[in-house]
Amino acid sequence: MLPEYKVHAIRLGKVDFDMGPSVPGREPNIQSIPVWAAVVEGNGSLILVDTGIKDAVRHSRLAPTTLDPEETLKGRMATLGWKPSDVDVVVNTHLHCDHAENNRDVPGAQFFVSRTEWEYALAPDTAQAALYDFDWTGTELSFLNYTLIDVDHYDVLPGVRLIQTPGHTPGHQSVLVNTAEGVLCVVGDAAGSMENLMAPSPPGINSSSSEAIQSIHKIRRYCDRVFMSHDPNIDEFQEHGFPIVPPLSGWAGPAGR
């Protein structure tokens, strides 16, 4: 029997982003959206899925960004009673700056990134290059801390599985977590809104819209609930009742709340 984990939502900044292109037919719609990371607790391990924004000034060159003093990785984890040094495993869904900028603040962890994402991040195409313009390795955290995943359905631990979900980026991956409420998928940016999951439609930023739609179908197939990295309907420190996967049609509002 697989162990069950508890997932805690921590907010590591907010970004003004136009959600319009993510939904077919929607007009431009700039919103201040949260940047979520997931702290996964259980089976004697502490896992962090994505590490959020560290430098709001640098990130504001891409989009207006706010990072309140208490929204640091250290501050958020302290509220939950932990330190970054307590983290055993970090999974980066991808290496965009708003998902990996605090990597170097967790030097004692083992990191899991898809090999495709690692290689793409070293030489991204022009459209996404600015999102990778930061250092996720250094003297305190080298490439030796990273496990590069070459396969689909990779078990980091019993009850914590990585699935490849390309589309937002070529090497994007998502995390299936066994919880008391069923399988929760920490989606990353494979989907940015419930409309993406329901239509389905690709996120506004994508390297391949066809791959993005295939990945959304895959996520829907394997999970009961979803934790999307920029979902405005998640609450700070939420740890249960994450949104239920909506039907492909007839969805009427935030579910699982």
Q: Look up the pTM and report it.
A: 0.93
What pLDDT sits at residue 256? 37
Domains of the chain with CATH codes = 6-228 (3.60.15.10)
What pLDDT sits at residue 23? 64
Contact between residue 111 and residue 145 where contact means Cβ atoms under 8 Å apart: yes
What pLDDT sits at residue 10? 98
Among residues 125, 136, 128, 110, the alpha carbon closest in space to that of 54 is found at 136
What pLDDT sits at residue 251? 40
What pLDDT sits at residue 25? 64
Digits of tens for pLDDT over the chain (257 positions)? 999 999 999 999 999 987 666 666 667 778 899 999 999 999 999 999 999 999 999 999 999 999 999 999 999 999 999 999 999 999 999 999 999 999 999 999 999 999 999 999 999 998 999 999 999 999 999 999 999 999 999 999 999 999 999 999 999 999 999 999 999 999 999 998 888 998 889 988 899 999 999 999 999 999 999 999 999 999 999 999 999 998 876 444 443 33
Does residue 200 have a cis peptide bond before it, meaning omega lies within 30 degrees of 0? Answer: yes
* CA end-to-end distance (rounded Å), the chain: 27
- Residues 103, 136: Cα–Cα separation, whole Å: 6
